[in-house]
Amino acid sequence: MMSAMEKMAWSEVVISGTATLCALALLPWLGPGAAGAFGLLGLLPCGSWFLRRRGTAVITDERDHDNEKRATFLGILTAWQVTFMSLIAMVLWTVSQNRDIPAAWLNWLIWVQFALCYLVKGCAFLLINRRQHRATAC
């Protein structure tokens, strides 16, 4: 049985992956307007529905909070590293072509960074959580 935090992580993975795939699928038809598919990322807060308290039951514990902090760190680190390397590549390419960076590229870079952050965060939480040994009842 999955914990509430695992369900939230799965919702982050599914929503961010779906938004990215939809944006890429719409790119041939809508061009830069396909970035509108990243509006699906607005559904990310829906994952917190799994964290609602049900009576006196404990929903999350210290281990879940620690795992979420580690996963959030990995998600942000990955997104910023990809953004940084992408900006370097864009600048080097546009300078070699003697052009300016199109604004649409920067718009896409921001949305991809946002989606990547939550995708990595969700995947990292699931991996960290699955690798831990759980206490068993005797």
Q: Where are the domains of the chain?
A: 4-132
Instruction: Read off the pLDDT of residues 39-95 as tens digits, 9 standing for 90 and up.
Output: 999 999 999 898 887 777 777 889 999 999 999 999 999 999 999 999 999 999 999
Q: Rg of the Cα trace of the chain?
A: 18
**To which residue do tokens 């529905």 refer?**
49
**To which residue do tokens 């965060």 refer?**
121
Determine contact, residues 8/47, Cβ cutoff 8 Å: yes
Instruction: Read off the pLDDT of residues 101-133 as tens digits, 9 standing for 90 and up.
Output: 999 999 999 999 999 999 999 999 999 998 876
Please give the model's pTM, rounded to 2 decimal places.
Answer: 0.88
Determine contact, residues 58/65, Cβ cutoff 8 Å: no
